[in-house]
Chain A
Amino acid sequence: MSMLALVRKQLKSHPALIPLFIFIGGGAAMSMLYLGRLALKNPDVSWDRKNNPEPWNKMTPDHQYKLFTVNMDYSKLEKNRPDF
């Protein structure tokens, strides 16, 4: 019998286990989603070293990297490095 069919059979006799699956499955899904977000949207990550080697240099000067900023007013920042 496959794994899924076995589990389904056991769940029918122990229905109280269903919330367990929901919470563990939800937790696993959320952690995988966060890892995926970090992998794809984090500017410190470089996937394509030939075409996009330093994605953190493409941020605007007022890009807010952190989730909560306590003392920093990001709207007043501007570019302060010379071009070359």
Chain B
Amino acid sequence: MSGNFEEKIKDYATAPFDARFPNTNQTRNCFQNYLDFHRCNKALSAKDQDTAPCEWYQKVYKSICPLAWVSKWDEQHDNGNFAGRI
């Protein structure tokens, strides 16, 4: 599955439909992808694998999340203050 993600990442247009979040309010979609990006990085680097597939999550959350939230969370993450479970 992770083999063909390089093509998907190159052809990326926007965040695809996510069955977990079908309603108009996509807040949790944004947060879930942000969490998944960091969890993916953590899991793949723990296994010493290339973290390139994780870029998919980053593209999705950058499409969906407000910039203010992303910069706030990045700051918290760098300071070790981030409240989400990563």
Contact = CB atoms under 8 A, between A and B. Distances in A.
B43 interface: yes
A59 B20 CA distance: 7
Given A81-B56, A84-B39, A84-B54, A72 B17 contact: yes
Q: For chain A, what secondary structure do more than half of its interface residues adopt (helix, strand, loop), or is it mixed?
A: loop
A83 B5 CA distance: 10
Contacts of A62: 19
B19 A59 contact: yes
B53 A84 contact: yes
Interface residues of B, number: 22
B1 A53 contact: no
Interface of B: 1-2, 5, 8, 16-17, 19-20, 22-23, 28, 32, 36, 39-40, 43-44, 53-54, 56-57, 85
- Please classify how large the interface on chain A is, using the bins under 10, 10 to 19, 20 to 34, 35 or more: 20 to 34
B19 A83 contact: no
B16 A84 contact: no
Contacts of B17: 72, 77
B22 A66 contact: yes
Contacts of B5: 82
B20 A43 contact: yes
